[in-house]
Amino acid sequence: MRIIAIHLLNDYSGSPKVLMQLLKGWSKKNIETHLYTCSGREGFLPNVDQVKNHFYWYRFAKKPYLRLLFLITSQFLLAVQLLIKLQKKDIVYINTIFPFGAAIAGKIRGCKVMYHIHETTMKSKILKLFLFRIVKITASEVVYVSHFSANQEPLNVKKNVIYNILESSFIKQSRLNFNTKKQSKIVLMICSLKACKGINEFLKLAQINPIFTFKLVVNASQNEINAYFEKENIPSNLIIYPTQKDTHPFYKEASVVLNLSDTNLWVETFGLTILEVMVYGLPTIVPPIGGGVIELVEEGKNGYLIDCKNIALISEELNTQLLNSTLYSQVNESTLAYRKYFCEDYFENESIRILSN
pLDDT tens digits for range 170-194 = 888 888 887 767 778 999 999 999 9
For the residues of 26-49, what is the DSSP string, one character each?
HHHTT-EEEEEEESS--SSTT--T
Residue 164 or 99, more confident: 99
The per-residue pLDDT for 186 is 97
3-class secondary-structure state, position 93: strand
The Cα 90–Cα 270 span in angstroms is: 29
Question: How many residues comprise the chain?
Answer: 357
- Predicted confidence (pLDDT) per residue in 258-280, tens digit: 999 888 877 665 567 888 888 88
Q: Tell me the pLDDT band of 338, cut-offs 50, 70 and 90.
A: low
The per-residue pLDDT for 177 is 83
- Predicted confidence (pLDDT) per residue in 140-151, tens digit: 999 998 888 888
pLDDT at 112 over 90: yes
The per-residue pLDDT for 169 is 84
pLDDT at 153 over 80: no
pLDDT at 116 over 80: yes
The per-residue pLDDT for 339 is 65
pLDDT at 107 over 80: yes
Which residue from 224, 301, 314 is spatially nearest to 261, judged by alpha carbons?
A: 314
Average pLDDT score over the chain: 90
The Cα 103–Cα 236 span in angstroms is: 49
Sign of CA dihedral 315, 317, 320, 325: negative
Residue 111 or 284, more confident: 111
- Predicted confidence (pLDDT) per residue in 20-59, tens digit: 999 999 999 999 999 999 988 888 998 888 999 999 999 9
Helix axes 168-177, 272-279, angle to 10 degrees: 40
Do residues 270 and 259 touch, judged by C-beta distance below 8 A?
no
What is the rounded radius of gyration, in angstroms, for the C-alpha atoms of the chain?
Answer: 21
The Cα 248–Cα 251 span in angstroms is: 5
How many other C-beta atoms are found inside a 10 Å radius of the C-beta of residue 317? Answer: 17
The Cα 207–Cα 312 span in angstroms is: 12
Residue 171 or 127, more confident: 127
The per-residue pLDDT for 101 is 98
Residue-range domains of the chain with CATH: 2-165+343-356 (3.40.50.2000), 168-341 (3.40.50.2000)
Do residues 296 and 271 touch, judged by C-beta distance below 8 A?
yes
